Copies of this chain bind each other. A is one copy, B any other.
Amino acid sequence: MKVVRNGEARRASRIGVVRSRDTASGLSSANLPVDSILRGDCVAELSKLPARSVDMVFADPPYNLQLQGELKRPDDSRVDAVDDAWDKFESFEAYDAFTRAWLLAVRRVLKPTGTLWVIGSYHNIFRVGAMLQDLDFWILNDIVWRKTNPMPNFRGRRFTNAHETMIWAAREPGARGYTFNYEALKAANEDVQMRSDWLFPICSGHERLKDEAGHKVHPTQKPEALLARVILSASKPGDVVLDPFLGSGTTAAVAKRLGRHFVGIERDPAYADAAQARIDAVEPLPEAALALAPTAREAPRVAFNTLLDRGLVAPGTMLTDAKARVRAMVRADGTLSLETAPGLGQIGSIHRAGAIAQGLEACNGWTYWHIETREGLKPIDSLRAVMRSEMAIAAE
């Protein structure tokens, strides 16, 4: 494949300044060359980038396949396996050193809230996973990509190798605030939690990049649907997604389509050219198709006493549990006084009082306590909803 255009010139016009949600906190992505492909070795290129500037990394490193000679199908045709120089390593030690180097470089550019995805097969994923742990990343999940159409095992000596493994990891143990769009994933999955096993076809047909001669441009091009789920799961619109082994550019193309910024690193000029052309052809989806639905977690906090301030609840009102057995009186300061045993006479927040009344450690008072209305007994959470809609109008 030949280089058909001037990548440098094209790149310069495309580099933008990312509008990062973390700019205010000093984790600036301002010096990050977003929406461009960096041509060069991934460790060298990563070390030029600002620290703590990237929201999510997806990495598809060489698999170190260790094929022992060529493989033929039952009809004696040759299997076009991965035998490229970039997939060759002298030894496991060499592969480990390589893995360690790029993982450390990735950790430096990740924001503290950022997460890393790595995909691999049994040839390399165990080494990658162990190294992640050794380097003090924190594994959140391992995800299995089940292939609907894997290559069969031609010799009949093993099980059909029908899956690959991804590891999703936070920057360090105890990392807080990483992005996981739980509600969106659940809503998209028949309203049940998304599981750790995903089913997708391998990349083929029109999606598979081919050169003029009809040969595949890259031997291990990943399906866009797989990357779409990864990016939709663990990043927000406007985030920066980095791929240190860009290859044919799937990560960048999908990131662009989904309204994320991308940074791609690729050493091979032919791959980089193909990826750039592919990315240029991508049209981002309209914002309305991307915006995340507000979640209960992110809803503005409402203190119970603001309901009293607004006159939605009067001091002296009696609250009860759903079955109207347990009773508590609303005091002027927004605390409750239990009027029934257990806990008779005890005073505390709606949450503490609910916990005491049930003999539990914790309780969500908003859903436990009910109030008598014209339409019958309703959870005080319905008053909070009224409160929140009033706040929303006021904010406009």
Contact = CB atoms under 8 A, between A and B. Distances in A.
Interface of A: 68, 76, 92, 121-123, 125-130, 132-134, 139-144, 146-150, 152-153, 156-163, 165, 167-168, 174, 180-191, 193-197, 199-201, 225, 228-229, 232-233, 258, 285-286, 288-293, 301, 303-306, 308-310, 315-316, 329-335, 337, 347-349, 351-352, 360-363, 390-391, 393-394
A298 to B, nearest CB: 11
A168 B122 CA distance: 10
Nearest to A360: B76
B289 A315 contact: yes
Contact of A361 (B76, B142, B191): B76
B301 A190 contact: yes
Contacts of A352: 187, 191
Nearest to A123: B139
A188 B288 contact: no
Contacts of A331: 288-291
A190 B349 contact: yes
Contact of A197 (B129, B197, B337, B362): B197
A305 B189 contact: yes
Interface of A is mostly: mixed
A393 B146 CA distance: 12
A150 B393 CA distance: 11
B187 A335 contact: yes
Given A162-B195, A201-B310, A225-B310, A348 B133 contact: no
Given A148-B390, A285-B316, A335 B184 contact: yes
A188 B125 contact: no
A149 B199 contact: no
B199 A391 contact: yes
A185 B147 CA distance: 19
A137 B184 CA distance: 42
Contacts of A288: 329, 331, 337
B196 A334 contact: no
Contacts of A186: 156, 349
Contacts of A157: 140, 180, 182
Contacts of A232: 332-333
A125 B134 contact: no
A251 to B, nearest CB: 16
A159 B141 contact: yes
B130 A158 contact: no
A258 B332 contact: yes
Contacts of A286: 316
Given A130-B127, A348-B293, A285 B315 contact: yes
The 7 closest A-B pairs by CB, nearest first: A126-B129, A188-B334, A293-B347, A148-B394, A188-B305, A162-B195, A225-B309
Contacts of A303: 188-190
Contacts of A194: 159-160
A349 B183 CA distance: 10
Contacts of A163: 142, 144, 195-197
A333 B184 contact: yes
